[in-house]
Structure 1
């Protein structure tokens, strides 16, 4: 990555700081193999806060269009990516209860003195991409050509007339 943004995650959340900007797709090398072209950028907003239970949290919001390849028609698909993740900071995984792990409204992130924000954004983009990208409606390549397949019984009928 050509740039680096590092924060102290607990201090960022405690002080209710905010970080906003754009990250170029070119600066996310782990995503490159999934793209039809390495262009565009991800607009991000990272907000620190203290959650309802008094826990330090990071709210990460991402907005962009990701150029993927439709796996049905093989054409370009500009996939709209809109992510809003609540990341609760924990000192260690031992602090989590089974109830915490089953709560789908938030994810957990180890608290770090040097959290790489751009790597976090890249992780969230990868997690939000579809496993099999495809248009809502499209056809298979060559699907417009309708081939008429002759019934094997019609072939037999033709042989019996000869």
Structure 2
């Protein structure tokens, strides 16, 4: 006889607003997937240099209960993110495409104290607090922001540093607009020759 009852599974809606409040306190699991444009991710959108119709992130989520020997089963969540956006290249100061692909796994704990005490050496799991109003959209935004490069750059050789570019422009402008003034003695010498 099977002592582990099969829990109901709910498919999450794809509307961003619905992802702001998910009840994790009920005995059920969740699955879902969709696409989030930058407009649905206001904190991520603030980082964007420009917006392209292709910019945004595919997401997929699955929660499940993982049994612990001699203890209560813990709720875990797999999150998969894949997408792109444009950031400012710190080499040339022009927009550059940045691609993100992350698959973090989370474990839900009863309170903040347990989450704070969760062992840091367990890199595979990130602790979150179980809530009846869990903000999945906020968690998605957090993970995207954490995976963006600190110093975005085009691939090596794909752009020219802004300092070199502006330095070349400056020297060109100086050559065209500023000429050395004529020596006043040469002007006098030329005037004397004309007399």
So what's the TM-score if we normalise by structure 2?
0.64
CA distance in 2, matches of 1:18, 1:50: 13
Give TM-score scaled by structure 1 length: 0.76
Q: CA RMSD of the aligned region, Å?
A: 2.6
Deviations 1:124-157 (A, max 9, x none): 1111111111123043126475x8xxxxxxxxxx
Q: Per residue, is there more strand in 1 or in 2?
A: 1
Partners of 2:153 and 2:143 in 1: how far apart? 20
CA contact 2:115–2:128 (8 Å) conserved in 1: no
Deviation per CA, 1:40-89, whole angstroms, max 9, x where unpaired?
22110011012364421111111101211111112221111001110110
Structure number with the bigger relative contact order (C-alpha 8 A, sep ≥ 6) is: 1
> What are the ranges of 5 or more consecutive residues in structure 2 without an aligned counterpart?
1-14, 172-195
> 1:26·1:38 contact (CA, 8 Å) conserved in 2?
no
Alignment of 1:68-87 (within 5 A): 68-87=87-106
Structure index of larger Rg: 2
In the alignment, what sits opposite 1:126? 145
Q: 1:49 aligned to 2:76? A: no
Aligned ranges 1:13-24 → 2 under 5 Å: 15-24=28-37
**Which structure 1 segments of 5+ residues have no match?**
148-162
Matches within 5 A, 1:1-162: 3-5=17-19, 6-11=21-26, 15-39=28-52, 40-51=55-66, 53=68, 54-95=73-114, 100-138=119-157, 139-141=160-162, 143=164
